Chains A and B, each alone.
Chain A
Amino acid sequence: MILKLIGTALVFAAGYLLTHRALPLLFVGAGKALGFDMKPAPHWQKRVKRFKTMKRGYYSFLIITTLFVTSFFLEFLVNSKPLLIRYEANVSFPAFREWSDKLFFFADLRRMEKRSDFGQVGDAEVDYRLFAASRRDPGIFDRQLEKLDAELKDVKKQLASSRPGSGSTAEERRDYADLREIVPAIEADIELVARARVAFADGKASIIMPLYPYSPGEHLLDLPGSPPHHPDRTHILGTDDSGADVFTQLVYGFRISLSFALIVSGTGYFIGIIIGGIMGYFGGWVDILTQRFIEIWGSIPFLFTIMIVAAIVQPTFILLVGMLVLLHGWIGMTYYMRGEFYREKTRDYVHAAEAMGATDWSVMMKHILPNSLVPVVTFAPFAIVAYIGQLVSLDYLGFGLPVGTPSWGSLLSQGMQYIKYYPSLILTPSVALAVTLFLVVQIGEAVREAFDPKVFSRLR
């Protein structure tokens, strides 16, 4: 228990160092290697400095970014697959493989640890939990051997009684032959288990499980009682009604929710900046027509439309991102960007760039855009809050990510069904959601204050 706490602390420390020491160094280094001047402009430096003085927002920023970066290594921390499994000469890293399979999904590295290679009977994937238990309790092998011996005896008895005589039919002969073939298979299994017992006793087997040895997609149906389960010592937040551990779903759901929100707001802002920029920079008919179009497009009840589509086509992550961006995400930023570009294009530096023969595109992207980023930065945290909320809402209504994806919203809708008996199914995802959004809002407030400070003066 204490070891686990220390382990968790170490994980967070490592996550912090990676996020706020290693990654910035890497980013600046890569930029310099590519020939960019990575020193931020003085007014940006000033804003960042001001942001750091706002303790609430700055610490929220540290916490959220650390958690988010750490969550990309969740497969090593919260997983039913071990970090390392060793049996005789076989060594394997199942957790690492799962991680690389998810990260580099295009390179299909899927290989499975077969049971027979790790001292277990059968061809399926190794039962890691049984493997770990066998190391603590050698009696497991004795019981297995007993069972196999009994089976062998049983088969032999049957063989003796059904030996075909001259009067047997062809069918009886075939059954007898089939039965006889089982004998060597059972004998091989007995040999395998006996060998495993020796190997385990000699310390030729070892396994390292992650800190929290369960996976979100794993249905723990052999727990006592029927799911959902109340929280207890091993499943700190209980399980849901399919027997999947709630804590694992919460942490994997954090990664999915935040990634989803970042991708939607990122793509939405990208499109919004380009369209808003074009509107403000060129003005005239382009501006008027696009404005009318946005007025129409913005009146679409987007949640209802997404629900209609999602009811007919089972949405995937990409489809959901696409629909949210298309129907809603890009619109908000166009208003601000249109204004910014409209204002900036009359400035002297733009005229200078134009006089030097810069193309429209390069004036927009290289000269105006870097001076128009304040709304982008200040609204981003609030957009992330909104999109996390939207994903949770869609999942809650049942029009979100496919069933089986760990998600806060589907936990909430389950909790709704068990509202009388399993309050933790509602309370834990709600608290996770509220805390996450609260931290992001704190970042947003601090960023707004740092980038766009308001000074109120009043008489008394």
Chain B
Amino acid sequence: MHGMTTYFIRRLLLIPVTFIAITFMVYTVLRVVPGGPIEQAQLQIKLAMMQEGGATVLGGAESEVQIPEAAMNELKKYYHLDKSIPEGYARWLWGIVRLDFGRSYVYGEPVLDVIISKFPISIYFGLIGYFASWLICVPLGVSKAIRHKTGYDTATSVIVFIGYSIPGFVACLMLLVVFGGGSFFDFIPLGGFRSANWAELGFFAKILDQLHHTIVPVIGYLIGGFATMTILMKNSLLDNLGADYVRTAFAKGLSEKRVIFLHAMRNSLIPLTVGIGQALGLLFAGSFLIEKTCNIPGMGLLGYTSIIQRDYPIILGVLVFMVLIRLTGNIISDVVWALIDPRIRFGK
């Protein structure tokens, strides 16, 4: 156990290093390239000043709207832009440590509040998608393994390959256009998290409405890992069915059902749990593509719109969460793996 503890401590210590390396890189990119936060803020202040003193500004048409020097410096100070890049970054990092992510330009609220308000939506879809993929891929993989090299196996393989060939968001688009677009059918809403009048609905209508909006994005999430997970399940069960302990179990005279589902299955499920860490990333951070396609106001859509709107505090905030979730997710999947499989020994 000693080697493992040091292994995990090393992994944990690597988190801050990785975190700083990545955020520093993106921070530098955002500072160096034009169109940065100061230009954005400048633009907004100009617009505000134009609206306030509309008449005077229009009257003196020649005088460009100028931000007073003092206000400019104030602004730079606020975003630590009067400092060099390393110092500005250090201050930003210190803010993150104190959970002060700054304020969003667009929403005007603290970044942390905005991000946290989006979390549950992404988690909702991510969780359902993850469980649905287990519910579908495991039985399918098992049945394919049991009927290896039969007509059933070939036929389902074709389905699996088709699933692998369609990116999740494209599947969402196709479902939306066929079942929600009205050109063919019209019984699925065109995206959104809930209907606009959700709050007025009755209890069961609420559930129904929520499910109604859940189907398409969940299929999108599902299709992303569908092929890999099914094939992994199949191959891992086939591997185990050829192992000596299965031969022993058969030799003892156990029934095939018992051997497959009680003995081989338990070991075959282990490789599938490796994906937990990545799934966690998707769970929390959502997917840009699916959330944009289905218009779900989660973390992914927030990241996308913040890039479009050049809302730098939010961009950096989303980045922080994505990196942290991914890093901890990797460690969690190692821990889970080590916990359920006593043969796994990290570090040596």
Q: Taking beta carbons and an 8 Å cutoff, which residues of A are in contact with B?
A: 292, 295-296, 299-301, 303-305, 307-309, 311-313, 385, 389, 392-393, 396-399, 412, 415-416, 419-421, 423, 426-427, 430, 433-438, 440-442, 445, 454, 456-460
A459 and B167 within 8 A (CB)? no
B165 and A308 within 8 A (CB)? no
- Cα(A442)–Cα(B326), bound, Å: 31
Q: Which residues of chain B (277-304) have a CB below 8 Å from chain A?
A: 285, 288-289, 292-293, 303-304
- Cα(A415)–Cα(B173), bound, Å: 9
- B85-122: CB near A (< 8 Å → 1, else 0) gives 00000000000000000000000000000000000000
B-side contacts of A399, CB under 8 Å: 307
A-side contacts of B83, CB under 8 Å: none
Task: Tell me whether B232 is interfacial, beta carbon within 8 Å.
Answer: no
Instruction: Give the distance to chain A from B280, nearest Cβ to Cβ, in Å.
Output: 14
- Cα(A412)–Cα(B177), bound, Å: 11
Known: A399-B307, A412-B173, A430-B173. 18 other contacts (CB 8 A): A296-B17, A296-B21, A301-B323, A304-B318, A308-B29, A308-B307, A312-B35, A396-B169, A416-B293, A419-B190, A420-B182, A423-B184, A426-B177, A433-B165, A435-B165, A441-B161, A456-B239, A460-B256
B26 and A305 within 8 A (CB)? yes
B326 and A441 within 8 A (CB)? no
Instruction: Give the distance to chain B from A302, nearest Cβ to Cβ, in Å.
Output: 10
B161 and A299 within 8 A (CB)? no
Q: Which 3 pairs between the two chains have the least Cβ-Cβ distance?
A: A437-B165, A438-B165, A458-B241
Determine which residue in B34, B148, B167, B239 has the highest number of CB atoms from chain A within 10 A of its CB, and name it.
Answer: B167
Q: Which residues of chain B (16-51) have a CB below 8 Å from chain A?
A: 17-18, 21-22, 25-26, 29-30, 33-35
In the complex, the chain A residue whose C-beta lies closest to that of B250 is A459
- B133-177: CB near A (< 8 Å → 1, else 0) gives 000000000000000100000000000011011110110011011
B176 and A292 within 8 A (CB)? no
Between-chain CB contacts (< 8 Å), 7 pairs: A299-B323, A301-B326, A304-B303, A430-B174, A434-B170, A442-B161, A459-B250
A420 and B173 within 8 A (CB)? no
Instruction: Say yes or no: A420-B181 contact (C-beta < 8 A), given A292-B14, A309-B29.
Output: yes
B174 and A441 within 8 A (CB)? no
A-side contacts of B288, CB under 8 Å: 303-304, 307, 397
Instruction: Give the distance to chain A from B6, nearest Cβ to Cβ, in Å.
Output: 15
- Cα(A421)–Cα(B183), bound, Å: 7
Task: Tell me whether B332 is interfacial, beta carbon within 8 Å.
Answer: no
Contact check: which of A392, A436, A438, A460 meets B162 at CB < 8 Å? A438
- Cα(A384)–Cα(B22), bound, Å: 27
A392 and B170 within 8 A (CB)? yes
Chief secondary structure at chain A's binding surface: helix
B-side contacts of A396, CB under 8 Å: 169, 289
A459 and B308 within 8 A (CB)? no
A423 and B247 within 8 A (CB)? no
Instruction: Give the distance to chain B from A414, nearest Cβ to Cβ, in Å.
Output: 11
- Cα(A419)–Cα(B186), bound, Å: 12
Instruction: Give the distance to chain B from A383, nearest Cβ to Cβ, in Å.
Output: 13
B319 and A301 within 8 A (CB)? yes
Task: Tell me whether B235 is interfacial, beta carbon within 8 Å.
Answer: yes
B-side contacts of A441, CB under 8 Å: 161, 164-165
Task: Tell me whether B238 is interfacial, beta carbon within 8 Å.
Answer: yes
B-side contacts of A456, CB under 8 Å: 148, 238-239, 241-242
Instruction: Give the distance to chain B from A433, nearest Cβ to Cβ, in Å.
Output: 6
A392 and B190 within 8 A (CB)? no
- Cα(A367)–Cα(B287), bound, Å: 44
B-side contacts of A296, CB under 8 Å: 14, 17-18, 21-22
Instruction: Give the distance to chain A from B290, nearest Cβ to Cβ, in Å.
Output: 11
- Cα(A392)–Cα(B167), bound, Å: 9
B-side contacts of A440, CB under 8 Å: 165
B14 and A295 within 8 A (CB)? yes
- Cα(A460)–Cα(B326), bound, Å: 42
Contact check: which of B26, B161, B169 meets A438 at CB < 8 Å? B161
A-side contacts of B183, CB under 8 Å: 420-421, 423
- Cα(A309)–Cα(B330), bound, Å: 26
Task: Tell me whether B178 is interfacial, beta carbon within 8 Å.
Answer: yes
- Cα(A174)–Cα(B205), bound, Å: 80
B-side contacts of A385, CB under 8 Å: 164-165
Instruction: Say yes or no: A299-B327 contact (C-beta < 8 A), given A426-B174, A430-B174, A433-B170.
Output: yes
Contact check: which of B165, B250, B319 meets A304 at CB < 8 Å? B319
In the complex, the chain B residue whose C-beta lies closest to that of A296 is B18
A308 and B14 within 8 A (CB)? no
A308 and B315 within 8 A (CB)? yes
A-side contacts of B335, CB under 8 Å: none
- Cα(A456)–Cα(B184), bound, Å: 45
B33 and A312 within 8 A (CB)? yes
- B210-246: CB near A (< 8 Å → 1, else 0) gives 0000000000000000000000000100110110001
Task: Tell me whether B322 is interfacial, beta carbon within 8 Å.
Answer: yes
Instruction: Say yes or no: A311-B169 contact (C-beta < 8 A), given A296-B17, A415-B177, A456-B241.
Output: no
Determine which residue in A308, A399, A427, A441 has the highest number of CB atoms from chain B within 10 A of its CB, and name it.
Answer: A308
- Cα(A398)–Cα(B235), bound, Å: 38
B-side contacts of A458, CB under 8 Å: 148, 238, 241-242, 246
In the complex, the chain A residue whose C-beta lies closest to that of B309 is A311
B170 and A430 within 8 A (CB)? yes
Task: Tell me whether B206 is interfacial, beta carbon within 8 Å.
Answer: no
A-side contacts of B180, CB under 8 Å: 419
In the complex, the chain A residue whose C-beta lies closest to that of B178 is A423
Instruction: Give the distance to chain B from A449, nearest Cβ to Cβ, in Å.
Output: 12
Task: Tell me whether B80 is interfacial, beta carbon within 8 Å.
Answer: no
A308 and B238 within 8 A (CB)? no
A-side contacts of B239, CB under 8 Å: 456
- Cα(A14)–Cα(B259), bound, Å: 56
A393 and B169 within 8 A (CB)? yes
Instruction: Give the distance to chain A from B263, nearest Cβ to Cβ, in Å.
Output: 12
Task: Tell me whether B194 is interfacial, beta carbon within 8 Å.
Answer: no
A313 and B326 within 8 A (CB)? no
Contact check: which of A299, A303, A393, A436 meets B326 at CB < 8 Å? A299
B-side contacts of A459, CB under 8 Å: 241, 246-247, 250
A-side contacts of B21, CB under 8 Å: 296
Instruction: Give the distance to chain A from B284, nearest Cβ to Cβ, in Å.
Output: 12
Task: Tell me whether B310 is interfacial, beta carbon within 8 Å.
Answer: yes
B18 and A299 within 8 A (CB)? yes
B14 and A393 within 8 A (CB)? no
B-side contacts of A442, CB under 8 Å: 161
- Cα(A66)–Cα(B177), bound, Å: 32
B-side contacts of A312, CB under 8 Å: 29, 33-35
Instruction: Give the distance to chain B from A281, nearest Cβ to Cβ, in Å.
Output: 23
Instruction: Give the distance to chain B from A335, nearest Cβ to Cβ, in Å.
Output: 14
